A = this chain, B = another copy of it.
Amino acid sequence: MKETYTRPVNGKNVEIQPSFFKNLMNLAADSIIPYQWRALNDEVPDAEPSYCIRNFRAAAGEIDAPHAGFVFQDSDLAKWIEAASYMLMWREDKETEKNIDACVDLIEKAQLEDGYLDTYYILTDINKRWTNLRDNHELYCAGHMLEAAVAYYKATGKDKLLNVMIKFVKHIKSRFGTEEGKLRGYPGHEELELALVKLYEETGDKEHLALAKYFIDERGQSPLFFDEECKREGRGIGWVRSIYEGGAYYQSHKPVREQIKAVGHAVRACYLYSGMADVARETEDERLKEACDTLYENITRRQMYITGAVGQSSFGEAFSFDYDLPSDLVYGETCASIALLFFAHRMLRMSPKGEYGDLMDKLIYNGTISGMNLTGDKFFYVNPLESWPERSRKNQQFAHIKSERQKWFGCACCPPNLARLVCSLPGYIYHTQGDTVYFALYTSSNANIPLENGNAAFSVKTGYPWDGKVIIQMEKAFSGMTMALRLPAWVKTYKLNINGKFAHTRMQDGYLYIEDALKAGDEIVFDMDMPVMVMRANPKVRATSGKIALVRGPVVYCLEEADNGFDLHALSMRADQNMQYAFDPDLLGGVGTITADAYREIESGWDDNELYADHATEKAPASVMFIPYYAWNNRSVGEMTVWVREEK
């Protein structure tokens, strides 16, 4: 393991205190996880049936039923088990644990003698397994179930599912590889790569790492496997492949080390990049790390929305190209934001740089949780930066942009993905390297962290993300240990005191290193100024030319019709004004709001019959209120916009 690599602190060592995070976690535990359990069992009255558990029961021979639902339906159960496992790390829930155990029994029973496990092929034609890697998600489902197995083992120490999945992995290993007689294939939807590295990290078995490395290395090699597979099976290549040159939709157009731009299906892409970063870290592959750096930069400097959302195009839920960032036509799938967060987290593990934590921050407070409502029972798949409900209804080009969150999806990838992210938040906060504790995120918590030469324990109190003050009370410390606090890029001024006195720090790559001898009882007060910031996009971005957006701390704000009336496009505002920030505990579960002076175009000068005219449009002063972007569409269906025309 390289000297600079960091290791995330096990979430079990971090007890989240009342906070923004804790609220999210409770929401997942109280609402999403139980709701999804009912959904998986087809017990939600007015939602499409999932068939997920039913498929497993049929595959296990308990009932006689055909496979139903998507070909990747198994992954829904996997993601639920994974999410619930994370929850069990911080909340006792015997009932859920019992349900998981029952599922594990079912899964074990469904598994074939040779280790194979996928209800779609078990229930349809087992002879067809591994014949459509590109479209049929077997390796994707394997990846999710493997993640679930590792999580459940970590949470409870129970290894039945882990063993089931190790058996499946052995089967996969027997079928895939460069050796004679094996398929030189790889997942059509990436996911298994990163899961195999988790399995390796848990078991120490290098075979699993080698398999992950094989999938990464083989991807995009000539001749292109997916094209060969189509030929062999007598299938046409299909429209997606024909539109995305060489199979860029699947990131299989060229070897991964030669890929320099994020392309194709955004969730697939970011899962792949996460797996690449995992393999680069664990195999100390500098060339692969460079590819990750390049792709990370391409995404974050060229193809990412200000909310962290990625995937500009609804055709293929895909990346499009540099600086193409339309606010209205965005795809910005919730799952893609989550996948990008996974990638950022892995980049942070390779290099303790503040920017990776900054992006995790951005994603957690914006582009991921915008995917669910405040009661955790309705979800967005697509997260637009601008909503005009009438357009979504009446112009089919915008039909993918829903004006309100939906109850549940037939393709239910986003809700359980959110649940597993939120429930695992404790594991994202701290990293260690040697005797250094890295703060990636700020939230109130009690942490007890083993370091190389001792243990650190401390409590953190903060009102983040509404307040930039972070108070760290050392409970255990030892000489030589270092606390490294992420200094977000948005911080212009801050104070850092220890026991009321100016703290000497070393600043490097977005981290403040406190290398003074710390001792139990020390109080570190890190106070980041959190002004409202007026943001502009790089002038190469066309959609936002002449527009501004407001950000405070990690939180992106938006205008919503509920506060500002309709025709939000008629509003404009000056950047150089004193905007008022306030925290409103009674609004939307408690949110920051920003009020500002603005102008509203008035139509009085326009005859109702004039569509184009050579006179100006007048404007009147107006006052506007911004709310956090993630909290939009929790009161009524209406317009929303993140970007507002700048008045000069």
> Are B648 and A314 within 8 A (Cβ)?
no
> Are B324 and A616 within 8 A (Cβ)?
no
> Are A539 and B388 within 8 A (Cβ)?
no
* Interface: A302 (CB within 8 A): yes
> Are A617 and B388 within 8 A (Cβ)?
no
* Interface: A608 (CB within 8 A): yes
- Residues of chain B within 8 A (CB-CB) of A537 are 611-612
Q: Which of A243, A318, A321, A397 has the most CB atoms of chain B within a 10 A radius of its CB?
A: A397
- Residues of chain B within 8 A (CB-CB) of A536 are 612-617
Q: Which of A243, A567, A575 has the most CB atoms of chain B within a 10 A radius of its CB?
A: A567
Known: A539-B617, A545-B570, A614-B535. A394 touches B606 (CB 8 A): no
Residue of B nearest to A303 (CB): B611
* Interface: A274 (CB within 8 A): no
Chain B proximity of A381: nearest CB distance (Å): 17
> Are A535 and B612 within 8 A (Cβ)?
yes
* Interface: A546 (CB within 8 A): yes
Q: Which of A602, A610, A614, A647 has the most CB atoms of chain B within a 10 A radius of its CB?
A: A614
Contact residues of A: prevailing secondary structure: loop
* Interface: A609 (CB within 8 A): yes
How many Å lie between the Cα of A519 and that of B315 in the bound state? 67
Chain B proximity of A168: nearest CB distance (Å): 36
In chain A, residues 35-71, which have Cβ atoms closer than 8 Å to a Cβ of chain B? none
> Are B395 and A397 within 8 A (Cβ)?
no
> Are B538 and A612 within 8 A (Cβ)?
yes
Chain B proximity of A641: nearest CB distance (Å): 10
* Interface: A563 (CB within 8 A): no
* Interface: A205 (CB within 8 A): no
* Interface: A390 (CB within 8 A): yes
* Interface: A391 (CB within 8 A): yes
How many Å lie between the Cα of A645 and that of B647 in the bound state? 12
B-contact 0/1 string along A546-563, CB 8 Å cutoff: 100101000000000000
> Are B397 and A321 within 8 A (Cβ)?
no
How many Å lie between the Cα of A66 and that of B617 in the bound state? 60
Chain B proximity of A547: nearest CB distance (Å): 9
- Residues of chain B within 8 A (CB-CB) of A608 are 301
> Are A616 and B575 within 8 A (Cβ)?
yes
* Interface: A596 (CB within 8 A): no
How many Å lie between the Cα of A582 and that of B56 in the bound state? 76
* Interface: A15 (CB within 8 A): no
- Residues of chain B within 8 A (CB-CB) of A538 are 603, 606, 610-613
* Interface: A591 (CB within 8 A): no
How many Å lie between the Cα of A399 and that of B572 in the bound state? 32
Chain B proximity of A598: nearest CB distance (Å): 13
> Are B535 and A390 within 8 A (Cβ)?
no
Which residue of B320, B397, B611, B613 contacts A300 across the interface (Cβ within 8 Å)?
B611
> Are B606 and A321 within 8 A (Cβ)?
no
> Are A397 and B617 within 8 A (Cβ)?
no
* Interface: A297 (CB within 8 A): yes
Chain B proximity of A49: nearest CB distance (Å): 22
- Residues of chain B within 8 A (CB-CB) of A541 are 611
> Are B540 and A301 within 8 A (Cβ)?
no
* Interface: A353 (CB within 8 A): no
- Residues of chain B within 8 A (CB-CB) of A300 are 611
Chain B proximity of A128: nearest CB distance (Å): 28
* Interface: A495 (CB within 8 A): no
In chain A, residues 2-61, which have Cβ atoms closer than 8 Å to a Cβ of chain B? none
* Interface: A378 (CB within 8 A): no
Chain B proximity of A447: nearest CB distance (Å): 32
Chain B proximity of A331: nearest CB distance (Å): 9
> Are A395 and B603 within 8 A (Cβ)?
no
How many Å lie between the Cα of A551 and that of B611 in the bound state? 14
Known: A397-B329, A611-B300. A603 touches B540 (CB 8 A): yes
> Are A391 and B614 within 8 A (Cβ)?
no
In chain A, residues 253-309, which have Cβ atoms closer than 8 Å to a Cβ of chain B? 297, 300-302, 304, 306
> Are A545 and B395 within 8 A (Cβ)?
no
How many Å lie between the Cα of A318 and that of B396 in the bound state? 10
* Interface: A403 (CB within 8 A): no
Known: A614-B534, A648-B648. A539 touches B306 (CB 8 A): no
* Interface: A533 (CB within 8 A): yes
How many Å lie between the Cα of A540 and that of B395 in the bound state? 16
Which residue of B304, B603, B606, B647 contacts A611 across the interface (Cβ within 8 Å)?
B304
Which residue of B545, B549, B603 contacts A539 across the interface (Cβ within 8 Å)?
B603
How many Å lie between the Cα of A315 and that of B400 in the bound state? 13
Chain B proximity of A250: nearest CB distance (Å): 15
Known: A570-B539, A648-B648. A320 touches B395 (CB 8 A): yes
* Interface: A601 (CB within 8 A): yes
Chain B proximity of A17: nearest CB distance (Å): 31
Q: Which of A312, A395, A567, A617 has the most CB atoms of chain B within a 10 A radius of its CB?
A: A395
* Interface: A170 (CB within 8 A): no
Chain B proximity of A337: nearest CB distance (Å): 16
List 27 interface pairs A-B (beta carbons < 8 Å), by A numbering: A243-B396, A312-B395, A313-B395, A313-B397, A315-B397, A318-B396, A320-B396, A324-B391, A324-B394, A329-B329, A388-B542, A397-B397, A536-B614, A536-B615, A536-B616, A536-B617, A538-B613, A539-B567, A539-B570, A539-B601, A539-B602, A540-B603, A541-B611, A545-B601, A545-B645, A549-B612, A647-B648
Q: Which 9 A-B pairs have the closest CB atoms?
A: A315-B396, A320-B395, A321-B394, A542-B569, A539-B601, A533-B614, A539-B617, A545-B569, A535-B612
Given contacts A315-B395, A538-B610, A538-B611, 19 further A-B contacts (CB under 8 A): A301-B609, A312-B395, A313-B396, A314-B397, A315-B399, A318-B396, A321-B390, A321-B395, A324-B395, A490-B614, A536-B616, A536-B617, A538-B606, A538-B612, A539-B570, A539-B601, A545-B645, A546-B572, A546-B645
